[in-house]
């Protein structure tokens, strides 16, 4: 609960509702506003103090002294080529969490299942934070073409580099959702914090699903820009 209160307070600083130099509301005022216990607000304020955003001044109150660091964002690309090129530039740190065999759940008209899929669960991180949690399902026959690369590199550029792989269709769906407990812990955000969920489905020319990526991004890592006249 205190992490959620801290998220709300941090957002006010980010958006300038609480500017640098401003005195934040008193403890009783924050307790009444957020409808939580005193200890919850104290923990939230302490968290922002630890981050260097707030500082107490004896007899005067607590003041904003710094904005949160603005982390790099990833633009959501709408073409496979652009997405692959973006990932070649990003080069996040990859931390494997789980590996095995698992069949993905397909939605209607997404394609037909391959005989077996390699399942990889991993975390991607930038220099300053965890940016995403990924569940990947790769057709076993394709995974065997470059197992080391699939385990240690980004999947989409690896797929694009394999001459044996012919991608007949590639689609992605972006959904704004909230973080579950496991994802929240992995990305160091509060449970129920906003996240962006991307589901990517690649099929071969015969309609076989060769790759499914279920990616959960920090909401502040995603940047969507559209040309409405384009």
CATH number of domain containing 146: 3.40.1410.10
Where is pLDDT greater, at 23 or 74? 23
Domain contains 230: no
The residue-averaged pLDDT of 35-58 equals 92
Domain contains 228: no
Beta bridge partners of 132: 124, 217
> Sheet of 167-178: strands edge to edge?
93-101, 117-125, 130-139, 209-218, 194-204, 167-178
Domain contains 10: yes
Total domains, the chain: 2
153: closest CA among 143, 163, 141?
143
| Chain mean position to CA 161 | 25
Query: Quick one: 209 and 119 in the same domain?
Result: yes
Kindly report the CATH number assigned to the domain that includes residue 28: 1.10.10.10
Per the structure, the complete domain to which residue 140 belongs is given by: 74-223
How many other C-beta atoms lie within 10 A of the C-beta of residue 38? 11
User: Which secondary-structure segment (H or E) carries 185?
Assistant: helix 181-187
Per residue in 133-183, pLDDT tens? 999 999 999 999 999 999 999 999 999 999 999 999 999 999 999 888 888
Confidence of residue 76 (pLDDT cuts 50, 70, 90): confident
Query: Quick one: 60 and 81 in the same domain?
Result: no
Query: With 80 as the cut, is the pLDDT of residue 230 above it?
Result: no
Query: Quick one: 27 and 125 in the same domain?
Result: no
Where is pLDDT greater, at 148 or 127? 148
Query: Quick one: 40 and 91 in the same domain?
Result: no
Query: Quick one: 105 and 209 in the same domain?
Result: yes
Query: Quick one: 167 and 94 in the same domain?
Result: yes
Lowest model confidence (mean pLDDT) among 28-32, 51-55, 79-83, 96-100: 79-83
User: Which secondary-structure segment (H or E) carries 194?
Assistant: strand 194-204
Query: Quick one: 44 and 99 in the same domain?
Result: no
Query: With 80 as the cut, is the pLDDT of residue 3 above it?
Result: no
């Amino acid at each position: 609960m205190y992490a959620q209160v801290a998220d709300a307070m941090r957002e006010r600083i980010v958006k300038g509702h609480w500017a640098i130099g401003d005195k934040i509301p008193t403890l009783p005022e924050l307790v009444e506003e957020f409808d939580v216990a005193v200890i919850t607000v104290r923990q939230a304020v302490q968290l922002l103090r630890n981050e260097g955003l707030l500082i107490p001044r004896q007899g005067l109150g607590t003041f904003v002294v710094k904005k949160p660091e603005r982390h790099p964002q990833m633009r959501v690309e709408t073409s496979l080529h652009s997405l692959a090129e973006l990932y070649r530039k990003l080069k996040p740190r990859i931390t494997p969490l789980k590996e095995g065999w698992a069949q993905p759940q397909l939605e209607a008209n997404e394609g037909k299942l391959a005989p077996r899929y390699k399942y990889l669960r991993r975390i991607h991180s930038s220099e300053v934070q965890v940016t995403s949690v990924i569940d990947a399902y790769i057709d076993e026959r394709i995974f065997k073409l470059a197992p080391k690369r699939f385990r240690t590199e980004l999947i989409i550029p690896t797929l694009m580099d394999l001459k044996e792989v012919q991608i007949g269709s590639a689609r992605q769906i972006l959904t704004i959702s909230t973080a579950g407990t496991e994802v929240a812990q992995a990305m160091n955000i509060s449970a129920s914090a906003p996240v962006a969920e991307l589901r990517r489905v690649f099929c071969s020319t015969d309609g076989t699903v060769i790759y499914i990526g279920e990616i959960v991004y920090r909401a502040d890592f995603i940047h969507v820009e559209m040309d409405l006249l384009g």
